[in-house]
Amino acid sequence: MIEGKATFPKTNAAYVSIESLQDEKADEMIRNSEYIKSFLLLNDIELVSHPFVHIKHWDIKTGKIEYDFCFPIAQTDKFPTHEEIKYKVVEPMEAVKGSFFGNYSLSDRIWFELHAYAKRNQLEVEPVIIEQYHHNPHEGGSSIDWKAEIFMKVK
């Protein structure tokens, strides 16, 4: 469901960087989710919102994506160092927004809808996307009820 223009808010995040194909995104998230959450828990770093994927580059022809799998965290003066888990501030992003309901392995389908919506509405977009997940598949429940908000950057 396309919702129109929106802003993804400024967010502090702990993340790992990943390169994969679109259809491998969900597997990579599963592989890294508990790894990141365990590190944050062991180091008393407070999670403040739902995890998200910050796609920094999407090759629409090949399906290759470069992204950070992020967990929003509270700001603190000092973060523990880790070889793979890094920290960043995701700046506010003007975007076209859509909501996706279903298995997160299929959430990239809405990227094409957002791209088409932007074109129809004469908005210039970049291949920068944020998918914020509102349900944890590890906690069970029907994937029909899973929700993701998708933001595609407007230039």
CATH of the domain at 98: 3.20.80.10
The predicted structure's pLDDT at residue 62: 95
The number of domains in the chain is 1
Q: What is the mean pLDDT of residues 6-15?
A: 96
The range of the structural domain enclosing residue 105 comes to 2-154
Assign 99 a pLDDT band (cuts: 50, 70, 90): very high
The predicted structure's pLDDT at residue 142: 66
Q: What is the mean pLDDT of residues 6-14?
A: 96
pLDDT for residue 137 is more than 80: no
Q: What is the DSSP string of the chain?
A: -EEEEEEEPPEEEEEEEEEEEGGGHHHHHHHHHHHHHHHHHHTTPPB-S--EEEEEEE-TTT-EEEEEEEEEB---S-----SS-EEEEEPPEEEEEEEEES-GGGTTHHHHHHHHHHHHTT--EEEEEEEEE-S-GGG---GGG-EEEEEEEE-
